[in-house]
Amino acid sequence: MTMDFEASPAEIRARAEAGEPRAQYLLAANLSREGRREEAERWLQAAARGGEPDAYYTLATRSLSTLPGTADARLLLEKAALKQSVPAIRQLAVLEAQGYGGPTDWQRAAGRMAALAQAGDVAAMRQIAGLLILQDADDENAAALIDRTALRDPVAAAVCAGRRAAGRTTGDPALASDVLKRLAAGGYPRAGELARKMIAAPPSRVPAAPDWPVIAERLSTPPAAPQIEPKRISARPDAQLFPAAVPPEIVDYVIMHAAPCLRPSMIYDSRDGSRRRDPYRKSLTASLGPADQDLVIAALIRRIGGLVGCDHDRAEFLSILRYEGGGEYRAHFDWLPEGPDIEASGQRVATALLYLNEDYSGGQTHLIFADAKVKGAIGDVLVFWNILPGGAPDEASRHASLPVLSGEKWLASLWFRSRRFVF
Ligand code: PD2
Ligand code: ZN
d(CA 357, CA 380): 10
The pLDDT, as a whole number, for residue 173 is 60
The CATH architecture that domain 9-102 belongs to is Alpha Horseshoe (1.25)
pTM, to two decimals: 0.94
Ligand 1 near 404 CB (within 6 A): no
Centre of ligand 1 to C-alpha 415, Å, is 10
Centre of ligand 2 to C-alpha 270, Å, is 15
| Cα 263 → chain centroid | 15
* Domain coordinates in residue numbering, the chain: 9-102, 122-218, 231-417
d(CA 387, CA 149): 44
The full DSSP string for 62-100 is TT-SSTTHHHHHHHHHHHHHHTT-HHHHHHHHHHHHHTT
Mean pLDDT value across the chain: 92
The pLDDT, as a whole number, for residue 195 is 75
**In a 10 Å sphere around its CB, with 0-12 CB exposed, 13-18 middle and 19+ buried, how is residue 19 labelled?**
exposed
Classify strands 328-332 and 274-276 as parallel, antiparallel or unpaired.
Answer: unpaired
Ligand 1 near 351 CB (within 6 A): yes
Q: Is 19 helix (H, G, I), strand (E, B) or coil?
A: coil
pLDDT beyond 80 at 261: yes
d(CA 320, CA 257): 10
Nearest CA to ligand 1 atom 3: 365
The pLDDT, as a whole number, for residue 174 is 67
Q: Which atom of ligand 1 is nearest to the CA of 366?
A: 5
pLDDT beyond 90 at 4: no
Peptide bond into 237 cis (omega under 30): yes
Q: pLDDT tens digits for 165-197?
A: 777 765 566 666 777 777 777 777 777 777 777
Picking from 200, 137, 139, 208, the residue whose alpha carbon sits closest to that of residue 171 is 208
Return the H-helix or E-strand segment holding 365. strand 365-367
Q: What are the residues whose beta carbons fall under 8 Å from the beta carbon of 20, sequence distance 6 or more?
A: 3, 50
d(CA 290, CA 100): 8
| Cα 35 → chain centroid | 30
Work out the angle at residue 187's Cα, subtended by the Cα atoms of residues 181 and 192, and round it to the nearest 5 degrees: 40
Picking from 225, 423, 419, the residue whose alpha carbon sits closest to that of residue 313 is 419
pLDDT beyond 70 at 270: no
Ligand 1 near 364 CB (within 6 A): no
d(CA 97, CA 107): 8
E strand intervals along 149-308: 231-234, 239-242, 263-264, 267-269, 274-276, 281-282, 284-288
The pLDDT, as a whole number, for residue 1 is 43
The angle, 0 to 180 degrees and rounded to 10, between the axes of the packed helices 69-82 and 86-98 is 140
CATH 1.10.10.10 fits 231-417, yes or no: no
d(CA 285, CA 266): 8
Split at pLDDT 50, 70, 90, the class of 145 is very high
Split at pLDDT 50, 70, 90, the class of 123 is very high
Q: Which atom of ligand 1 is nearest to the CA of 319?
A: 11
Q: pLDDT tens digits for 23-73?
A: 999 999 999 999 999 999 999 999 999 999 999 999 999 999 999 999 999
Split at pLDDT 50, 70, 90, the class of 304 is very high
Strand partners, 404: 362
Say what the alpha-carbon torsion angle 40, 44, 46, 48 is, to the nearest 10 degrees: 180
Picking from 244, 276, 299, the residue whose alpha carbon sits closest to that of residue 127 is 299
- By the 8 A CB rule, do 396 and 236 touch? yes
For the segment 283-294, the average pLDDT, to the nearest whole number, is 97
Peptide bond into 248 cis (omega under 30): no
Split at pLDDT 50, 70, 90, the class of 202 is low
Ligand 1 near 43 CB (within 6 A): no
Q: Which atom of ligand 1 is nearest to the CA of 382?
A: 3
pLDDT beyond 70 at 204: no
Q: pLDDT tens digits for 365-419?
A: 999 999 999 999 999 999 999 999 999 999 999 999 999 999 999 999 999 999 9
Rounded alpha-carbon distances, angstroms, from residue 231 to 225, 240, 246, 386: 16, 6, 16, 18
The total number of residues shown for the chain amounts to 423
Classify strands 274-276 and 318-323 as parallel, antiparallel or unpaired.
Answer: unpaired
d(CA 236, CA 368): 12
